[in-house]
Amino acid sequence: MSLVYPVMLKHYAGGQVGVRFADVPEAITAASSVEAALAQAADALLVALSGYVDEGRALPRASKPMRDQLVVALPTRVAFKFAIHAAMRQSATTQTQLAARLGIDGRQVRRILNLDHESTLAQMEAALAALGRRASVVVSKIAA
C-alpha cells in the first residue's frame, strides 16, 4: 500500500498555484507558489484521508506518478496509522480483536489509531504485524 499520491498543479492568473489529487478529489488547495501549495497539499491530503477513515471508507489507492510528476507523501507516523486503519478494514478486524492479538488494553489501540497521539514505531509495527502486514520505508530526494 502506497500513501504517496501524485499531484496535479494548475497555475492561475495572479500567480496562484492550485494543487489537486486525482486519487483523492476531496484534497484541493492553492497558494502563492508551487512550494507553498505543495506544503499545504500535505495538510489537505491528511484532512481528506482522515475523512475517509472517519466515514469507514477504504483509503483511495495511490496511482503511479507519471514521469516527472510531483508527489505528496504523508508524514511517516500518519502513514503508519492510515496503513493500520486500512489493514483493519481489509481484514474486518475490530479494535477489540486487535487489542487481544497484541495483548493490550483497547484504549491503547485507540491511541495507536489516533492521528494526534505520538505512538511509537514499535507499537505501530506490532499492530501491523498482528494484522499480517509489514511496513517498509522508502527514502527519496526532495524535489528542488
- The pLDDT value recorded for residue 14 is 87
- The pLDDT value recorded for residue 56 is 85
CA 70 to CA 16: how far, in whole Å? 17
One domain, residues 34 and 66: yes
CATH number of the domain bearing residue 47: 3.30.160.250
Residue whose C-alpha is closest to residue 18's, from 8, 26, 3, 6? 8
Any domain includes 94: yes
CA 116 to CA 96: how far, in whole Å? 20
- The pLDDT value recorded for residue 143 is 60
**pTM assigned to the model:** 0.85
CATH number of the domain bearing residue 116: 1.10.260
One domain, residues 84 and 41: no
CA 90 to CA 84: how far, in whole Å? 10
Q: Which domain holds residue 101?
A: 76-130
Any domain includes 136: no
Instruction: Please identify which residue in the block is written with the cell numbers 493500520.
Output: 84
pLDDT tens digit at each of 144 positions of the chain:
888 999 999 999 888 999 999 999 999 999 999 999 999 999 999 999 999 998 989 999 999 999 888 999 888 999 999 999 999 999 999 999 999 999 999 999 999 999 999 999 999 999 999 999 998 887 776 665
One domain, residues 57 and 10: yes
